[in-house]
Amino acid sequence: MDPYIALLAVIGVTLVAAAMLPRLIHRAPLSMPIIFLGIGLALFSLPIGLEGPHVGSDGEVTERLAEFVVIVSLMGAGLKLNRPIGLRSWSPTWRLLGITMPLTILAVVLLGGIGLGLPLAGAVLLGAVIAPTDPVLASDVQVQGPDLEQVEALEQADDEVRFALTSEAGFNDALAFPFTHLAIALAAGGAWFVGWAVNDVVVKITVGLVAGWLLGRGVAWLAFRLRSETALARTSEGFVAVGATLAVYGITELVHGYGFLAVFVAAVTIRNQERDHEYQQVLHDFAETIERLASVVFLILLGGAIVDGALGALTWAGAAVAVAIVLLVRPLAGWIGLLGSSISKPERASIAFFGVRGMGTIYYLAYAANEEQFERAPEIWAVGILVIVLSIVVHGVAASTALRHLDAARDMGELPPATPRT
């Protein structure tokens, strides 16, 4: 049996199943990522000669695949957000980014340094790669995107929990970059602080924000404002979402900015133009389709990597640190970040708990490993991958039940309704 053909067959069947499974499991304490990860584990365990990705040795391929999955998911996340951007309307997001994310990184650095005995560079790397949350792998905790049948209530579609988790993931997938560069600079040694602070923090973040806004405005103009038969909205072609993703990412990287940040900002900018236009749903639906396809492939390959030794360097201390990150660090940091907000306690607890880890962690691990040598890198990989697995399982099991209870409480008036904020 040709292993490559067998892999194609399994991926094909899995993709077909991906269209049917959501309706079958929508009330079960189970998520699609759990199923696909299980398929990957089972497939690569069969005696048919398949080999999963090898962490460390397949660094370039891993980085590029994860990079594509992340940028597609960032475009999808931005196009989902129905709430107009603003200081007050996005207050939960700013709290999660400005308080929860730094607290999480600091706590993980301490766990890595004290609990695992990692050198400073390795501990900072572990904190940096754990920082990104994922807008895709727990579909129950993300917003649903534009719905043309409920155009008059677009803003109501984004309740506080789903909105906060989706918008947080869109930004922190990009804002983990400065911390990853900090770890790389520490590993390289030398006089690094000024260059890191100016280049990796100030310049690249600023360029990413500006480029994302300008390019997003440009795509929106071509889609909605261009008075011509060539206007993108007149074509009704959804693949423009992928074209815009690649163009924004590539151009921003060429001008020395963070492409991840630019893609998400561009998507939010596009979404805020002509909000009730039917082409918004065309773009969103196509981006979501590509996002799902990429995530299925990612999860199957992640299962293969685990079977072929990705957790081989894991120690009992590393496993304990991974459990602490999922069950203690994120919930506590999330709760602290939301203290004093107007969000109800049940919603605050859900936002704090559901910090799903996923594709961003793999990307940053591969990126850092390709840039610099880190002591005990296999152990860092093992802890990071175990965090992803635990997050997929724990959050996947809990998400549907928790969000269903919140929705029911909201419908009965026990929680504030998801009213529009401007």
* CA 88 – CA 49 distance, rounded (Å): 55
Q: Tell me the pLDDT of the chain averaged across its residues.
A: 85
- Top mean-pLDDT range of 173-177, 277-281, 292-296, 416-420: 173-177
pLDDT value of position 152: 47
Give the model's pLDDT for residue 58.
Answer: 67
- pLDDT at residue 420 is higher than 60: no
What pLDDT, in 10s, does the model give residues 288-310?
888 888 888 888 889 999 998 88
- Could you tell me if residue 141 is inside a domain? yes
pLDDT band, residue 168 (cuts 50/70/90): very high
In a domain, 420, yes or no: no
Confidence (pLDDT) at 325: 96
Mean pLDDT to the nearest integer, 352-378: 90
Distances in Å between the Cα of 249 and the Cα atoms of 72, 264, 274, 317 are 10, 10, 23, 38
CATH number at residue 108: 1.20.1530.20
For residue 52, tell me if it sits in a domain.
yes
pLDDT in tens, 112-134: 999 999 999 999 999 999 999 88
Q: Is the pLDDT of residue 324 over 90?
A: yes
- pLDDT in the model for residue 314: 93
Rounded to 5°, angle at Cα 154 from 152 and 155: 120
Better pLDDT: 145 or 275: 275
Question: Which of the residue ranges 26-30, 98-102, 229-233 has the most confident prediction, judged by mean pLDDT?
Answer: 98-102
pLDDT of residue 157: 52
Q: Residue 280: which domain range?
A: 3-411
Instruction: Report d(CA 65, CA 298) in Å as an integer.
Output: 8
Please enumerate, as own/partner, the contacts of 327-335 that have beta carbons within 8 Å and a separation of 24 or more: 327/394, 329/104, 329/107, 329/108, 329/111, 330/100, 330/104, 330/355, 331/355, 332/103, 332/107, 333/99, 333/100, 333/101, 333/103, 333/104, 333/107, 334/96, 334/100
pLDDT at 340: 86
Measuring CA to CA, which residue among 11, 21, 23, 64 is closest to residue 293?
Answer: 11
406 vs 45, more confident: 45
Nearest residue to 296 via CA among 100, 5, 31 = 31
118 within domain boundaries: yes
Least confident of 150-154, 282-286, 378-382: 150-154
Per-residue confidence (pLDDT) for residue 229, from 0 to 100: 60
Residue 139: how many CA atoms within 13 Å on its side-chain side? Answer: 22
What percent of the chain has pLDDT above 90?
Answer: 42
Q: What is the pLDDT of residue 277?
A: 79
- Residue 151's pLDDT band (cuts 50, 70, 90): very low
> Residue 416 falls within a domain, yes or no?
no
Q: Which of 230-234, 261-265, 345-349 has the lowest mean pLDDT?
A: 230-234
Residue 417 lies in a domain: no
> Is residue 422 one of the residues assigned to a domain?
no
pLDDT tens for each residue of 372-407: 999 899 999 999 999 999 999 988 888 777 777 777
Q: Confidence band (pLDDT; 50, 70, 90) for 154?
A: very low
The pLDDT value recorded for residue 222 is: 86
- Specify the pLDDT at position 28: 67
SS3 (DSSP) at 53: coil
Examine the pLDDT at 419 and tell me if it is beyond 80: no
The verdict on residue 418 lying in a domain is no
Tokens of residue 248, six digits: 């924004």
User: In the chain, how many domains are there?
Assistant: 1
Is the CB of residue 149 less than 8 Å from the CB of residue 156? no
Q: What does the pLDDT average to over 323-347?
A: 92
Residues 178, 199: Cα–Cα separation, whole Å: 9
Round to whole Å and give the CA distance between 343 and 416: 9
Q: Is the pLDDT of residue 355 over 80?
A: yes
Question: Of all residues in the chain, what percent carry a pLDDT higher than 70?
Answer: 87
Per-residue confidence (pLDDT) for residue 82, from 0 to 100: 84
- Given this model, what pLDDT does residue 212 score? 96
Virtual CA dihedral for 230, 232, 238, 241, nearest 10 degrees? 130
Q: Are 142 and 292 in contact (CB under 8 A)?
A: no
pLDDT, residue 17, reads 74
For residues 81-89, give the mean pLDDT: 86
For 334, what's the count of Cα atoms within 13 Å in the CB-facing half-sphere? Answer: 27
